[in-house]
Chains A and B, each alone.
Chain A
Amino acid sequence: MKQDYFSANNIKYIDYKDVEILKKFINPSGKIMNHKRTGVTAKNQRALATAIKHARFLGLLPFVVK
């Protein structure tokens, strides 16, 4: 993913309920991917990280995959 996924798809607000999108940015063990890997802008990467953390709190995404 070279281009920013969110600006390419015209997503202005990264929602924690969009689990299908958020899943693209976590690795098999459940960690949030590095911005170098995701290719997302710094601003969106910050918003993405918070969205993933909110989704984890409500049990939509795992903290760790064993």
Chain B
Amino acid sequence: MKFTEEHEWLRPEDDVIVVGITEHAATQLGDLVFVELPEPGIMVSKDDEIVVIESVKAASDILAPIDGEIVEVNEGLVDNPALVNDDPLGEAWFFKMKPSDPSQMDDMMDADAYAKYIG
């Protein structure tokens, strides 16, 4: 599993990458009340704002961590945004991507590096 400085996790699963946000991010955001997901099938570039989330406090974006195609989104989050707080690393994945260039993940943090990053 890899981690970004934007507090996303990326988990390879067969030929796609599953993306979610970390427990640290979920805690910082507070209770989520709204999730808006991208359309499956669209091509995105790294750092595109592709997901909108709102917590009890504020709205924020989730950025595409790499270039690629969105192949699947987790519609369950739209009906139950609180799942992100309950199980951020498991059931509450946001989307699956087919990467254009898997080497973009090479420089990302591993679990130990991310743990140090969030202090």
A, B: real partners = no
- Chain A residues at the B interface, C-beta cutoff of 8 Å: none
